[in-house]
Structures are given as structure tokens and as C-alpha cells.
Structure 1
Amino acid sequence: MEPAGSQRDSRIQAITPKALGIPGDIRKTSRPEIAKRLGLRRGDIDVIIGGPPCQGFSSIRPNRSANFDDPRNNLFEEFAAHVGYWRPLAFVFENVVGLATHNNGLDLEAVEDTFGRLNYQTDWKILNAAHFGVPQKRERLILIGTQPGIQFRWPKPTHAGRFRTIGFKDSSRMLIPSEPTLLDQGAAPLPPALTVADAIDDLPPVESGETATQYVAPARTVYQKERRVDAFELTWHASTRHTEKMMEIIRHAGPNISYIPTHLITSGFSSCYSRLEADEPSPTITVNFVHPASNKCIHPTQHRALTPREGARLQSFDDSFLFAPNTRNQVAKQIGNAVPPLLGRVIGEALAVALNV
């Protein structure tokens, strides 16, 4: 990566001339200050999107978020305060599936009650990214809020696949492909969910510690072709350099940790030190996917963990996307924490229909 102030930074600014990025604690920048820097007034924002971490939900105080600049707000209350300040037509609230059952569901009720007090109608579903063209079985709870009178309709899955939802049983809250009925006779079946191979097998092989900067084979799938559009070079296809002991572990790796001889490891979850399956969607990508001890992130056929580029492909980032941090671990964290762009687009398109824009 190039240093700050380089030609690359100018390129980012040219791509996003109206973007305002404010690094740091969101509680330390007032909403009026943000409005001033954006050149906008309250009511000018159509949609607010955010994913505040779940820490602190159990202490949500609905009246607190009405005070739009209270420094004691937790991060969810800060998100709600932005909604209350800007009064958007709609908002998107993204979180982990566990929020649905955490504290026996009371935390999620508190979230909805907070927005209800701000006069928003809300609905939530659990979405699996694999059902929407992302080669990853990543589940997230999505809550949509709209001002009264705006009717939001959830998007329909575009890809088939049955994937287990852990810890939540109410199927009415899951946005999954419906079973075929007599009325569906003659309708084209949904294509199967994309696999790891569908996403990354066009990328050149690299060994532990190696980097590749050029494509050496044509894209094999439509998904690969779409990710490579507008990419002038191959970036971040750089493998972590593994120790010899880790390489020995990797050479034994299989679908779960039981394939690793017990003398090589001392502990770990069942998915640690595990190899991805090429013919299945990937499990959820974590922030540590460039390290084999993380959740199932060893390449299906090569003896190494995934590169940042491979992780980005599994998250549906285009190859032309410019990641701001300049170390492998920082980029991996940014990728692992992200909402898959294709899933975000699906939600955004559904909102655009509801808002008639």
C-alpha cells in the first residue's frame, strides 16, 4: 500500500468526492458538527445505515436516545440518536443473529421500543448471505425502520440452499427460499448457492508468505468476472508466512480440527485449523481469517490460510475495491467485519423501491 498523501489517496477522493469519513469515537462528534461538515440540514437524509455492537443493549434507556448529544449514550443509543436527529425516511440496523435471543429477546424488544418512541415502524428478519448470491453462509439480523406510511417489502432469495441457523428456531423470521408449490409449476428453479471454488479458483496459487500481483487465468464463473470488472491489477493476494510447525498442522488439515494430530495442538474449537470445502459456500468469514487457528480458513487445496483477496471475494467485494489500512491484519479485520456488499445492495434496492427513488 502507498503512504498517505500519495496518488492513491487522490484516487480515493476522486472516486468518493462527496464522502465524509470521521475516524474515532462517534460519541465525540456532535450531530450538528456532522451536519455542518456535510453541508446538510436535519431532514435532508433519506436513509441511515449502521451496525452498532451489541454490548450495552441490556442497559438501553429509551428516553436517553432522545437526548441527541448525551455523551453517556452507549453505541446503540448513539445510532438511535442519529435517527432521531436526522429523521430519515428509513434506516437499516444490522446485527448478529444472537441479538434475537439475547437476554430472552428483551434486548431486541428494547431496540424496537426505542425506535417506536421515535415514531418509526420496524420489522426484522434473519438473512443468510448465501441466499443472495454471496458464496458465504453468513447470517445477520436486519431490522428495517420506516416512517409511517412507507411500506417496505423484504427481498426474495435469489439462490437455493438449506443452512442451519444456530440458536433460533422461529422460521417466520428467516428470509429463506420457499418450498415449491403447485402454483410454481413451470417456474425456473433458483440456482444453487455459490461455492468457495466459484468465488476464488481463478486466483493464482501462492505459497505461504508469497504474493501474486497479476491474474494468470481467465475468470471461470460469472461471479469471478463480475468481481474482476474495473480491476487493473490484483491486490492483496498475499499469504501469511506460516511457521514450520504451522505448516505441519496445515498439511494435516481437513474439514474440522479432529484431522490434526493431538500432539500438534493443545486446544481449539471444532472449526479451528480446518480446511474450506471447495464445493460448498464458505462459513462466516471472521476478522482473523488470514491465520489458520481462526474459524475454518485454510485454503481448500493449498497449504496456507486465505489471503485478504480471497476473503474479500468470499465477502463479495470487487477486486477494484480500495482498502484503506496498510497491513494484512488491518485489511482482514475490515473485510471480516463488513456486511457483504452484494447483500447490502439487495437491501438497498428493496429500500429504493419502498422510497420510490
Structure 2
Amino acid sequence: MSDKKLKVLDLFCGTGALSYGLTQSNPSLQVVGGIDLNKSASKTAAKNHPDAKVICDDINNFTATQMADKIGASQVDIIVGGPPCQGFSSIRPTRGQGLEDPRNFLYKKFVDYVATLRPTAFLLENVVGIIGANGGELLNSIILSFHNIGYDVDWRILNAANYGVPQKRERFFMIGKKRSSARTSIIRFPTPTHSFSGRVIGTKVKAKYIQHPNDGLPAVTLWDALSDLSSLKSGQKSDMYAHAPRNSYQIVRRAGAPEKLLLHQAANHSPKMLEVIKHAGHSKSCLPEGMVSSGYSSCYSRLEKDEPSTTITVKFTSPASSKCIHPIDDRAITPREAARIQSFDDSFVFCGSKTDIASQIGNAVPPVLSGAFSEILSEILASKPAVEEA
């Protein structure tokens, strides 16, 4: 492949984590543009993609052609993105029932951009719940939409822990490749590099779930990710590392980081919550009977030190809402610790309020996971046909 930069457009970009992971893994990929409706997330994306034109607006306000004009790129090589999916998120008890939610049809805008800009490849990311939405009809509609505009597609469910992320986060990924012959292209997915035997949500569609349980590198554990960060009490903060990095994960996350550590500040818990936290174990059932009266089984519980974390949500500072209590300290994890679990580099800059930043971290695609796709997409670009067939 030539030294020419391959142009990436990031739709529904949020923090830009999906494209950030790709470009960190492959410098030949260059993000030229992005769009997201969220103001603080757009600022974050712009800060970490300084050479890209990041637009804060509703994507429905722009045609693909107008977007190309705005970002100054009439042609892009890859389109990536995760259309909003709140109507069928796997953490919602009513998932799959609210398909009238207009956010569930923003994938059509993604299809429209692909149809107009004709990238050689695309990468679409979403929650696992998309595969069962409306009995599978939604996913079938998405696949047919891409087929009708001349793209071969395939999809898999990946677990981030199998790719070096210290988190058992399962996500849906679809790869699309511009059709170059009457024969359907075979699309390859990233080969897992790490193994673990912990519990997962999984899916009934076993053939589409990529697993690597028996060999490979050991999974990166929670403590592998956090052990160089200072111990804190409720309400405390620190801008210093506890000591030098202890493993390769920490070395990579700290490369290029500012001298002072950012976002390592613990939530200030009430006396009642601190009493609950002191008794917390692996699940809510570890608490003395009657101590709490509500919450899911995973609430009010500690993260396990010696295995990958459970999925980090936007509520990672609230033990009443998620499994987020530090494995040793009596407090919820800090935004810096959550960012580490999500595989963000310490040099990655977050913009906005504490609530904004928590949402950005919890909603993001782990950059190390998205980075696993860089080689696959580069292969597709390298095999690009000289002339596109109709």
C-alpha cells in the first residue's frame, strides 16, 4: 500500500473513540471529519482529532454531499460510526419493544452516507441488543439496505476482553465492503489475542459470537489496569501516579500523558452509602439483609480485582446504579479509572462537566477494541478494485 493517508469519516462520533482506536493502531488512517449532536462529546472528539473537522449538529440537517463539502473531502475511504440505539440497549428491561423510537432508525442516515460517498469499507458498531430487535427484523433490514446499495456485509459479536481491554464489554460490529464482483466477498474479523473464562452475556447466535477461551495471552485484569493509580478515600483526588507503570498495559496508557494525572477524583459518598460500600462484595446479595431495598443484583457491589471488569456504564460513580465499587478502596471508581478500564490513553482529553465526562466514558467504544479492526480495514482498502462495478 502507498504512503497516502486513508480518509476516515466518523458518524455519530461521540468522543471519537472508535476512530481514535483505528488511527492509533494504524497511522496510515486519518480522520477527516466527524459529527455528533452532543456538544461536550463533539468538543472531546475535536480535541483528540485536531486535524479533523468535527461538527456539533443533528446529522439529519446534512446530506452526505453537504457533509463532504463541510469537511473538505469529496471522497472518503472508510466510514465508521455507531448510530444511537437507546431503544434496544441491552441494559434496558424493555429492549426491543420500542422500535418506534426514531433513534432506532438513524442507521438509515448511515446507509445514505455510505450510498452517496461510496467508501471502500465501513465499520458500524452497536449494542448486542440490535440482533434481537423486533425479532431480528431490524438487523435484516439494515443488511438488506447495504446489499441494495452494492455492499457485502457481515457481522459478529466481540468481547473487548478478548482483545486486550480490561473489561468484559460485548459489542456488535458490522463490516461492509464495496462489492467488486457478482460473487459475495468473504469478510474477515479480528482474531482474538487474549483469553478469559469469566461469565459473559453472550448471544443465542453462537456462530456470530467470537470467542477465544482456551489460548492466547491472559486477559488484562482490572488490577493490571489500575494498580499504578493512587489509593483514594471518598471525596479525595490525586494528580500523581502512585508509582512507575508495572505492566505493558500501563506503559502504553501512560505514553505521552501530561505530567499531572487528570480526572482521578473520587465521588463524595454520603455516610449511609459509605456504610453500604464497607459491606459490599461481588454482588448485592453480599450485603446484610435489609441494608438496601432496591436495585439490580449487580448494584452496590465491588469490581473483581483479578479479572476483567464488568461493563462500565455512564453511572460508574453511583453504586446504587451499577457495579462500580473499587476492589480495595471504599468508594466508586474515579473517571480516570473508568477511562483506564475503557482503554483510553491517559493523554486522551475529555471536555465538559463531570456528568458529561462520565457519559462520554461510559458510552464509548474502547479504543483498543476498535483498534483491532485497523488491519482488517487496511486489507480491504489494499484490495480495492481499480474500477467499481455497477
TM class, shorter-length:
0.7 to 0.9
Match of 1:26 in 2: 59
Shift of 1:219: 1.0
SS of aligned partner of 1:49: strand
Q: Unaligned stretches of 5+ in structure 2?
A: 1-42, 89-95, 384-390
- Which letter does structure 1 place at the counterpart of 2:257? A
- Which letter does structure 1 place at the counterpart of 2:194? H
Shift of 1:306: 0.5
Aligned counterpart in structure 1 of residue 207 of structure 2, from 136, 158, 172: 172
Q: Is the counterpart of residue 219 in structure 1 residue 245 in structure 2?
A: yes
Shift of 1:29: 2.9
Match of 1:302 in 2: 329
Does structure 1 retain, via aligned residues, the 8 Å contact 2:282–2:302?
Answer: yes
Aligned counterpart in structure 1 of residue 267 of structure 2, from 240, 249, 253: 240
Deviations 1:244-286 (A, max 9, x none): 1111111111000012234332211100011001001001100
Residues 14, 316 of structure 1: alpha-carbon distance in 2 compared, 3 angstrom cutoff: closer
- Which letter does structure 1 place at the counterpart of 2:221? T
Residues 337, 87 of structure 1: alpha-carbon distance in 2 compared, 3 angstrom cutoff: same
Shift of 1:59: 6.3
Shift of 1:178: 6.9
- Which letter does structure 2 place at the counterpart of 1:134? V
Shift of 1:315: 0.5
What is the CA–CA distance in structure 1 between the aligned matches of 2:271 and 2:206, rounded to whole Å? 46
Aligned counterpart in structure 2 of residue 276 of structure 1, from 303, 312, 315: 303
What is the CA–CA distance in structure 2 between the aligned matches of 1:170 and 1:13, rounded to whole Å? 37
Q: Unaligned stretches of 5+ in structure 1?
A: 1-9, 61-70, 180-188
What is the CA–CA distance in structure 1 between the aligned matches of 2:365 and 2:103, rounded to whole Å? 27
Does structure 2 retain, via aligned residues, the 8 Å contact 1:288–1:329?
Answer: no
Does structure 1 retain, via aligned residues, the 8 Å contact 2:281–2:301?
Answer: yes
What is the CA–CA distance in structure 1 between the aligned matches of 2:255 and 2:57, rounded to whole Å? 33
Residues 167, 281 of structure 1: alpha-carbon distance in 2 compared, 3 angstrom cutoff: closer
What is the CA–CA distance in structure 2 between the aligned matches of 1:269 and 1:59, rounded to whole Å? 25
Does structure 1 retain, via aligned residues, the 8 Å contact 2:192–2:211?
Answer: yes
SS of aligned partner of 1:136: coil
Match of 2:387 in 1: none
What is the CA–CA distance in structure 2 between the aligned matches of 1:280 and 1:19, rounded to whole Å? 37
Match of 1:95 in 2: 126
Match of 1:39 in 2: 72
Question: Which TM-score applies when normalising by structure 2?
Answer: 0.78
Deviations 1:32-59 (A, max 9, x none): 3322221122xx1111111112339986
SS of aligned partner of 1:289: coil
Paired residues, number: 326
RMSD over equivalenced CA pairs, Å: 2.5
Match of 2:171 in 1: 140
| Overall identity of the aligned pairs, in % | 44
SS of aligned partner of 2:154: strand
Deviations 1:77-99 (A, max 9, x none): 11111111211111111111121
- Give matches, 1:310-325, under 5 Å: 310-325=337-352
- Give matches, 1:48-67, under 5 Å: 48-54=79-85, 55=87
Shift of 1:134: 0.3
Shift of 1:289: 0.5
Residues 314, 14 of structure 1: alpha-carbon distance in 2 compared, 3 angstrom cutoff: closer
Larger radius of gyration: 1
- Which letter does structure 1 place at the counterpart of 2:201? I
Aligned counterpart in structure 2 of residue 198 of structure 1, from 217, 224, 227: 224
Match of 1:331 in 2: 357
What is the CA–CA distance in structure 2 between the aligned matches of 1:156 and 1:72, rounded to whole Å? 32
- Which letter does structure 2 place at the counterpart of 1:268? G
Shift of 1:171: 2.1
Residues 209, 59 of structure 1: alpha-carbon distance in 2 compared, 3 angstrom cutoff: closer
- Which letter does structure 1 place at the counterpart of 2:159? N
Shift of 1:356: 1.7
Residues 103, 330 of structure 1: alpha-carbon distance in 2 compared, 3 angstrom cutoff: same
Runs of 4+ in 1 over 6 A off after TM superposition: 10-15, 56-60
